[in-house]
Amino acid sequence: MAIQSDTKPLLEVKNLRIEFPTRRGVLTAVDDISFDIMPGEVLGVVGESGAGKSLTGAAVIGLLEPPGRIAAGSISLEGQRIDNLPYEKMRQIRGRKIGAIFQDPLTSLNPLYSIGRQLVETIQTHTDMSESQARRRAVELLADVGIPAPERRVDQYPHQFSGGMRQRVVIALALAVNPKLVIADEPTTALDVSIQAQILDLIRKLCKERNVGVIIITHDMGVIAETADRVAVMYAGRIAEIGPVRDVIKHAKHPYTHGLMGSIPTIGHDTEKLTQIDGSMPRLTDIPRGCAFNPRCPKAFDKCFVDRPELIQVEQTRAACWLYEKEAVHG
């Protein structure tokens, strides 16, 4: 990774573990993951359903739903720990420093209030702006996210907007008070394919302009390829591989990532048959010993069934795989 030593990471997640206490014992949904994000950087988090990617996002913004809880590790924003803040302090960070974009724009907006009112409310919660200043800002924001005739649209209600337009409103809400970090959880999954690229471009463009760090959570490798600078591949609550998008896509190190890439059709290449990974991701109740991917891994050997691999630096990326143990450079 090319981290300039003079820049401090915007967000640091260290050894994060998220647990769900249940009647049959404690389930570990996210197990000991670490990553960081630089200002203005777009990190893609990709994985299957249940890999723990959305929970990671929820933990960062402090909205894990009980009984889910952060059991270990730390989350720091601009060097300040935010995982153990009292509710009220964390509330002031939400929206102010960390914005969120959710999956379904049709249900993310309150149907009973005009979008202007929802924007003004968000702005006034976090700033001292007057009603009219906040309203002017709301109109600006709507223009920034590409909504035509914002002066007129600002007084309309969510049901008067199409899905793509509503997601633009959601983006405007997420960026309303210039947060440092935006968490976009499946921001395009509910949208038409034709709209998806526009929305992704918009998120990327706005965040680059404002030097906002972004976590894009998705199960769609295409979204990552289009938007992210770096990607973290999650599997069964752990990071399998993390590194620059180009390297991970072109030269996947972890057998899981490799399988994942093989399952994406490419235009212009005559692929006979897409590869598929046999089996499915283990349930949280029976994650195997050693590497969580070992039952499905074509390259698994003895050690994979005994010890859990740490992330090992391989060229530009880091992969949690014993295959690369010899190559690891310690120190």
Partner 1 sequence: MFAFIIRRLLQSLIVMLAVAFISFSLFNFVGDPVNNMVGQEATAEQREALRVQLGLNDPFPIQFARFIGNAVQGDFGVSYRLSRPVSDVIATRLPATLELVFVAAVLALVIGLPLGVYTGLHRHGFGSKVLLTLSLIGISLPTFLIGIMLILIFAVWLGWLPSFGRGDTVQIGWWSTNFLTVAGWKSIIMPAVTLCLFQLTLIMRLVRAEMMEVLRTDYIKFARARGLSNRAVHFGHALKNTMVPVITITGLQIGSLIAFAIITETVFQWPGMGLLFLQAIQFADIPVMAAYLCLVAFIFVVINLMVDLLYYAVDPRLRVERSGGGH
Residue ranges that bind partner 1, judged by CB under 8 A: 61, 63, 91-96, 99-100, 102-104, 107-114, 121-122, 125-126, 152, 156-157, 159-162, 165, 170, 173-174, 176
169 with 147: CB under 8 angstroms? yes
What Å distances lie between residue 248 and 51, 93, 232, CA to CA? 18, 32, 9
CB of 118 to partner 1, least distance (A): 8
* CA gap 98, 34 in Å, rounded: 19
- Sorted by sequence, the CB contacts under 8 Å of residue 270 that are 6+ apart come out as none
CB of 96 to partner 1, least distance (A): 6
The C-alpha R_g of the chain, in whole angstroms, comes to 21
Question: What is residue 185's DSSP assignment?
Answer: E
Question: What is residue 103's DSSP assignment?
Answer: S
In the bound state with partner 1, the residue whose beta carbon lies nearer, of 185 and 241, is: 185
CB of 113 to partner 1, least distance (A): 8
CB of 142 to partner 1, least distance (A): 14
CB of 310 to partner 1, least distance (A): 33
Output b/e per residue, 187-226; b: 16+ Cβ within 10 A: bbebbeeebbebbbebbbebbeeeebbbbbbbbbbebbbb
Chain center to CA of 213 = 11
In the bound state with partner 1, the residue whose beta carbon lies nearer, of 160 and 263, is: 160
In the bound state with partner 1, the residue whose beta carbon lies nearer, of 7 and 107, is: 107
CB of 160 to partner 1, least distance (A): 4
In the bound state with partner 1, the residue whose beta carbon lies nearer, of 15 and 107, is: 107
In the bound state with partner 1, the residue whose beta carbon lies nearer, of 121 and 220, is: 121
In the bound state with partner 1, the residue whose beta carbon lies nearer, of 174 and 199, is: 174
Closest CA to 224 of 50, 43, 35: 43
CB of 169 to partner 1, least distance (A): 11
In the bound state with partner 1, the residue whose beta carbon lies nearer, of 114 and 317, is: 114
- Name the strand (E) or helix (H) holding 164: helix 163-174
95 with 125: CB under 8 angstroms? yes
